Amino acid sequence: MRKRTKNYTIIAIVLVLILAGAYTFRKSLVVLAFDMFLSDQVEKTLEEKSYKPLEEDLVTPKAEPIAMQIKPFSVLLLGTDQREDEPARSDTMIYAVIRPKESKVLLVSIPRDTYTEIVGKGKKDKINHAFAFGGQQMANDTMEALLDHELDYYAAINFEGLRDAVDAIGGVELPIQKDIVNKGADHEKFTIKANQSIYSGTDALNYVRYREDSDFNRTKRQQVFLDQMAKKMMNFNQITNIPQLLDVMGTNLQSNMQPKFMIDLAKQLLTGSEVQITSYTVMGANMRLNGVSYEEANEEDLKFAQDLIDNWMNNATSTYQLLMPEDQKTTE
């Protein structure tokens, strides 16, 4: 009887150790399952629907992706808005720096009405018109010129795809403390109710589009949304939803990041420490030219944004040496 009890005790201890180990390494186990059952399918979907190299990539192809990303790299994040009988514009333009080794991301937002040189068009205009004039390539070139830093990649998502993506992962949390009501005479009417535990894709889309208060507040909402979306996506329970997510987004997602690069990066971030996002917005002053309203970028803000990017892109910069912007409050 004592021997049987002892055996049961040993079995129980072994089971506890196995379960504890499975919990400790649960992310790695999920990634292993992803590699075994989903990786090929996801890579094929990205290759067929989303991979779109720039013209410059065809001349000088990107280096082959490696499994473990160590060096920082930059990505132009574009949120495009295609409406009936209107050219698509990039309502969201963010210069992002990803430091995969530390799981840190810097987001530098440029308000859509910022008055700047549109590279390749030969004139100054609102920066979001660059995408309408020349697609991802012109938007990429214009952002590089404004911030005086090259970009490694771009990733563009149509806002309709954003709505479907949010719904595919079961919604997102958003810090909305009072109702947001879009009621302008020439604007689409909607209301986003405050204090919901989870917001749908439609609410999230309206949240990042709303701009009846200020363009600055709008860029801050976009940064908040990206932070919440990243937290939800990096939850390892979401990994099985990736095929559905890519399917609903379809051609609404385009990037010159090679599919294998995207997959390996996602796995690296998933199994690393929690992703931390730092945000900064280049402020501007309202100006009018020929009856049209623009934002003139603050020179000090622009210089600080350039310094931020330079600091974060430097692989020799340690975590403790990373520049951090002061918290920029919205007026909401």
Phi, then psi, of 78 in degrees rounded to 5: -120, 125
Rounded percentage of the chain residues whose pLDDT exceeds 70 = 75
Evaluate whether 263 touches 39 at the Cβ level (below 8 Å): yes
Evaluate whether 156 touches 253 at the Cβ level (below 8 Å): yes
Cross-strand partners of 75? 96, 153
- How far apart CA 159 and CA 124 sit, in angstroms, is 26
- The DSSP result for 162-187, as a single string, is HHHHHHHTT-B-----S-EEE--TTS
Evaluate whether 243 touches 34 at the Cβ level (below 8 Å): no
**What are the pLDDT digits (tens) for 65-91?**
666 678 999 999 998 876 555 566 677
What single DSSP character describes residue 291?
Answer: T
Q: Which two tokens stand for residue 95?
A: 């210069």
**What are the pLDDT digits (tens) for 11-66?**
454 555 444 444 344 455 445 555 554 567 777 778 888 889 888 887 777 776 66
pLDDT at 188: 76
Longest Cα–Cα distance of the chain, Å, equals: 95
Of the listed ranges 138-142, 174-178, 240-244, the least confidently predicted one is: 240-244
Each domain of the chain, given as residue ranges in start order, spans 38-321
pTM tops 0.75, yes or no: yes
Q: Which two tokens stand for residue 67?
A: 């499994």
Evaluate whether 270 touches 75 at the Cβ level (below 8 Å): no
Q: Which two tokens stand for residue 184?
A: 């302008």
- How far apart CA 99 and CA 76 sit, in angstroms, is 15
- The DSSP result for 24-48, as a single string, is HTHHHHHHHHHHHHTHHHHHHHIII
- How far apart CA 186 and CA 225 sit, in angstroms, is 25
Write down the mean pLDDT value for the chain.
80
pLDDT at 329: 54
Tell me: pLDDT of 6 over 80.
no
Of 200 and 22, the structure prediction assigns the larger pLDDT to: 200
CATH of 38-321, one of 3.30.360.10, 2.60.120.200, 3.40.630.190, 3.40.50.620: 3.40.630.190
What single DSSP character describes residue 274?
Answer: P
Q: Mapping DSSP to helix (H, G, I), strand (E, B) and coil, where does residue 9 land? A: helix
Residue with tokens 């990303």: 69
Compute CA 287 distance to the chain's CA centroid, rounded to the nearest angstrom. 29
Give the pLDDT mean for 140-148. Answer: 96
